[in-house]
Structure 1
Amino acid sequence: MKLEVDMVVDDAIAAADYYEKLFGAKILSKTDLEKNLNEASLMIAGTEIRLLNENKDYDLFSPTSGANSSIWMSLVVDDIETLYEKALQMEGKSIQPITEYREINVKNAVFSDKFNHTWVLNQVLV
């Protein structure tokens, strides 16, 4: 069994490049078709993510500005400050700044990326 996450974006090829720069994603494949038919596959933290171009003919709609995705991607990271700052510099929008929860030994932050998908960053405190 394998779980693959599919995310609809307005430009799958641009999104693949964006996630490669932001998260160090490994791009597995990209198509070169008409824009509304393009897709890309990538790997982030051992999870395969397939990016699909928005295509109204197939009822594929990307999240719009001000209406972030209702599913949040959650990443455990070693350096939350660096990645969170990088996300904001790369057109991400802060939803929750870095917050420390000493009682459960974690820091987390939430942001939406330039494609309006929501990400939670978590760092375990030692």
Structure 2
Amino acid sequence: MMAIDNTPMLVPHLVVDDAAAALDFYTRAFGAEEMVRMPGPDGKLIHASMRINGAMVFLNDDFPEFNDGKASTPTALGGASVTIHLHGPDVDGRFQRALDAGATVVNALEDQFWGDRYGVVRDPFGHQWSLAETVREVDMNEVLAQMSDGG
């Protein structure tokens, strides 16, 4: 029996085609640590959880039969409305690791005016991930001035 745990949290819940392959990808690309994998009777994953960058992420296969008959993967919807942000050291290494695992570049990794080295990738399942590392301190007035000048 599992202990009751009502710790407040906010957890992204990703819907994909082939959740087992997605778990493998996230492990290779982002160093995910798989916590739970719950297969349904047909082998599709009804629930999985993993930790990425210390944060919990939920994942499951698409089940249109439980969603008014509609698929809810980014591919089925024509894109994702949310970008998942990963911040931390060695962004160049982490960005390359994601590409090596099968992600594609949405925005190249570049130094940005707000002080971060930042880029965006799309995983093979349609979800977007931004990766960043703060590389220099920037005064907020400088950031605002850059934004008003068009970046």
24 and 97 in structure 1: CA distance in 2 versus 1, 3 angstrom threshold? same
What is the deviation of 1:37? 4.8
Q: What is the Cα-based RMSD across aligned positions, in Å?
A: 1.9
2:47 paired residue number? 39
Residue 58 of structure 1, aligned match among 54, 62, 66: 66
89 and 37 in structure 1: CA distance in 2 versus 1, 3 angstrom threshold? closer
Q: Which has the higher strand share?
A: 1
1:4 paired residue number? 11
What is the deviation of 1:36? 4.1
2:109 paired residue number? 98
1:84 paired residue number? 95
Q: Is 1:113 the equivalent of 2:123?
A: yes
- Paired residue total: 125
Normalising by the residue count of structure 2, what TM-score does the alignment of the two structures yield?
0.75
Q: Deviation per CA, 1:17-69, whole angstroms, max 9, x where unpaired?
A: 21112111111110132244532111112221110111110125211189331
Q: Is 1:124 the equivalent of 2:134?
A: yes
What SS class does the counterpart of residue 14 from structure 1 fall into? Answer: helix
What SS class does the counterpart of residue 86 from structure 1 fall into? Answer: helix
Q: Where does the alignment leave 5 or more consecutive residues of structure 2 unmatched? A: 1-7, 137-151
53 and 125 in structure 1: CA distance in 2 versus 1, 3 angstrom threshold? same
Q: Where does the alignment leave 5 or more consecutive residues of structure 1 unmatched? A: none
Provide the rounded CA distance (Å) in 2 between the counterparts of 1:52 and 1:43: 15
Q: 1:8 corresponds to which letter in structure 2?
A: V
Q: Is 1:67 the equivalent of 2:103?
A: no
What is the deviation of 1:119? 0.3
Larger Rg: 2
Q: 1:108 corresponds to which letter in structure 2?
A: Y
Provide the rounded CA distance (Å) in 2 between the counterparts of 1:48 and 1:39: 13
Residues 109, 120 of structure 1: 8 Å contact kept: yes
